Amino acid sequence: MASSVLQVRIDSKLRSQATAIYEGLGIDLQTAVRIFLKRSVMENGLPFTMTLKDSTATTLAALQAVKNMQDTAQKAGLSAMSLDEINAEIAAARKET
């Protein structure tokens, strides 16, 4: 099988850090890159999952939950209450328990 050269520009510090990790595993950087590429082919994509800490789906779900709470409050006639009315409602509920 013919081989070819792959050139990649990376930060020197990143290269040093990665090299140290792979040397600790008993392989060199070039072997690690080949392993990454072979796994990518096997997985037909990146060989690991990629996620965002605050994904769009999570944000949309939270916004929908807030909208549902607003709709519920509006149906119950609570959405137009003043702060004083809300506090009075809380005080009344506490007296009942």
Q: Which class for 16: exposed (0-12), middle (13-18), buried (19 or more C-beta within 10 A)?
A: exposed
Token code pair at residue 75: 């149906």
pLDDT reported for residue 61: 84
CA angle (28, 33, 37) in 5-degree steps: 150
Q: Where are the domains of the chain?
A: 1-49, 56-96
Q: Please, what is the average pLDDT of the chain?
A: 87
Share of the chain above pLDDT 70, in %: 94
- Domain topology for 1-49: Arc Repressor Mutant (1.10.1220)
Closest listed residue to residue 88, CA positions, set 40, 78, 70: 78
The count of residues in the chain is: 97
| Res. 52 pLDDT band, cuts 50 70 90 | low
| C-alpha to C-alpha distance for 87 and 75, rounded to whole angstroms | 19
| Res. 73 pLDDT band, cuts 50 70 90 | confident
